[in-house]
Amino acid sequence: MSMKKVLSLMLTGALVISMETGVFASTEDQIAAAQAQKQEAQAGLAQTQANISSLEDKKQELESYMAELDAQYNELTNSISQLSIEAAEKEDELKKIQLELAKAKKRAEDQYEAMKLRIVYMYEKGGSSMLETLLASESLADFLNQANNISMMSEYDRNMLKEYEATQKNIQQHEEKAVEESKSITALLNEKNARQQEVQELVSVTNDSINSYISQISASQEEASILMAQVNSADNSIASLMAQAAAEQAAAAAEAAAAQEQEEAEETAEELPEFDPETDTMDSESSSSSSDVIVEEEAPEEDAGISEDTSENAGSSDVSSDSSNSGQGTYLGNFTLTAYCNCAQCCGTAGNATASGAMPTSGHTVAMAGVPFGTQLLINGTVYTVEDLGTPYGHVDIYFDSHAEALSFGLQYADVYQLN
């Protein structure tokens, strides 16, 4: 190979490597930025969900307190209703007492008037009337009888006076008792009404607090929805960038292969002998080559030996190659590796079966189009089975049990072998 070709190949390789490195570095930076954005959104989502949980707890506490206040309010309402009934009964009783008092007062007035008449009569007549009555007696028996009548009248007057005094005292006691009971019922009703008003105010304030928490929960849920959308957008961006990186890698590899083919073609063109039309012969370099060919033809035995040795080496090489293939399977290429799990962020909804109908298993299930379900792939010493779709051929998506493991896996590249 000429020095010119060597330098050209080196420059081409350096250029391709530089292009690949620049492209991959740019794509990986974008993926890293998208992953950082996703992690930030997930952190905000976790904080928002924690806030929602805290608000829900506070709301439940207030609702429990609200239930207690409702029970107190209902109890007070029933108590007030009972007191109202008792107050009405007391008012009826007071009306009866007042009616009896009115009758007693009328009877006392009549007694008082009667007593006044007796006192006036006795004052006007004085003792002479009584003496005259006694002296006018016809006999001793009549005299005694008249004296007895006078004594009975005096006793009657004294009893009437005592009865009048007792009636007045009874009236006074009943009036005082009725007034006290009325005041007691009124005070109790006022206290119950105040307590009921207090409970009503507590219910109103608690209800306002519950509505406030409901509004905060609604706002936090909207914020959580926005953050979830950001997480999903970041996932889509990461998947798109991974696909873009795989496509860029394939394009760079194809460009490198095309450049290498072009260099080989140029090398072949440089090594071909130049034909001189005037002499109808090749140039000196080609003549030397042809003489070398002639020399080689003059030593068929050595060539035969070399050929046999080469054939033997080739045979051993084929055996070695067959042994390698039997151990690792068919080499498919250096593929892009990503990871996913069975959560709603990765699959839209959680707990779904794979496209093949089987439930995914960590360390076993992978997704890749272009090969039939059940194809076994050897990747980094682990045998996986294609049971799902979602990525193009050349991009293997490996299943993990948790979203954290899938995120930790990130973007990788590895040689992939097909075992069946």
Residue 213 lies in a domain: yes
Find how far residue 398's CA is from the centre of its chain.
Answer: 29
Tell me what pLDDT residue 404 has: 92
Same domain, residue pair 42 and 123? yes
Q: What number is the average pLDDT over the span 285-307?
A: 38
Which of 377, 301, 390 shows the shortest CA–CA distance to 340? 390
Residue 316 lies in a domain: no
Same domain, residue pair 262 and 290? no
Which of 215, 240, 260, 246 shows the shortest CA–CA distance to 30? 240
Tell me what pLDDT residue 418 has: 95
Same domain, residue pair 296 and 247? no
Query: Domain residues for 134?
Result: 38-270
Please state the domain count of the chain: 3
Residue 338 lies in a domain: yes
What is the residue-averaged pLDDT of the chain?
76
Going by pLDDT thresholds of 50, 70 and 90, the confidence category of residue 260 is confident
0.85 exceeded by the pTM? no
The C-alpha atoms of residue 248 and residue 235 are separated, in whole angstroms, by: 20
Going by pLDDT thresholds of 50, 70 and 90, the confidence category of residue 164 is confident
Going by pLDDT thresholds of 50, 70 and 90, the confidence category of residue 335 is very high
Buried b (16+ CB within 10 A) or exposed e, 172-185: eebeeebeebeeeb
Q: What number is the average pLDDT over the span 152-164?
A: 78
Same domain, residue pair 254 and 299? no
What is the CATH classification number for the domain harbouring 189? 1.10.287
Same domain, residue pair 278 and 262? no
Tell me what pLDDT residue 237 has: 83
* Whether the Cβ atoms of residue 386 and residue 399 lie closer than 8 Å to each other: no
Q: Which residue has the higher pLDDT, 83 or 367?
A: 367
Tens digits of residue pLDDT in 131-154: 666 666 677 777 777 777 777 877
Same domain, residue pair 282 and 256? no
Residue 292 lies in a domain: yes
What is the CATH classification number for the domain harbouring 331? 2.40.40.10
Going by pLDDT thresholds of 50, 70 and 90, the confidence category of residue 314 is very low
Residue 14 lies in a domain: no
Tell me what pLDDT residue 294 has: 34
Pick the most confident of 115-129, 249-263, 375-389: 375-389
Tell me what pLDDT residue 15 has: 53
- pLDDT surpasses 50 at 333: yes
DSSP line for 187-232: HHHHHHHHHHHHHHHHHHHHHHHHHHHHHHHHHHHHHHHHHHHHHH
Pick the most confident of 18-32, 75-89, 147-161, 370-384: 370-384
Of the chain, the percentage scoring pLDDT greater than 90 comes to 20
- pLDDT surpasses 90 at 373: yes
A 10 A CB-CB count for 116 gives: 10
Residues facing residue 339 across a β-bridge: 398
Residue 172 in tokens: 């006074």
Same domain, residue pair 227 and 299? no
Tell me what pLDDT residue 271 has: 58
Tens digits of residue pLDDT in 350-360: 888 999 999 99
Q: How many CA atoms lie within 13 A of 267 on its CB side?
A: 15
Going by pLDDT thresholds of 50, 70 and 90, the confidence category of residue 125 is low
Residue 117 lies in a domain: yes
Tell me what pLDDT residue 340 has: 95
Residue 320 lies in a domain: no
Q: What number is the average pLDDT over the span 368-376?
A: 94
Same domain, residue pair 203 and 134? yes
Same domain, residue pair 153 and 180? yes
Buried b (16+ CB within 10 A) or exposed e, 330-365: eebeebbbbbbbbeebbbeeeeeebebeeebeeeeb
Pick the most confident of 117-131, 153-167, 222-236: 222-236
Residue 391 lies in a domain: yes
Same domain, residue pair 292 and 355? no
Same domain, residue pair 49 and 77? yes
Same domain, residue pair 105 and 210? yes
Tell me what pLDDT residue 236 has: 84
Q: Which residue has the higher pLDDT, 86 or 307?
A: 86
- pLDDT surpasses 90 at 400: yes
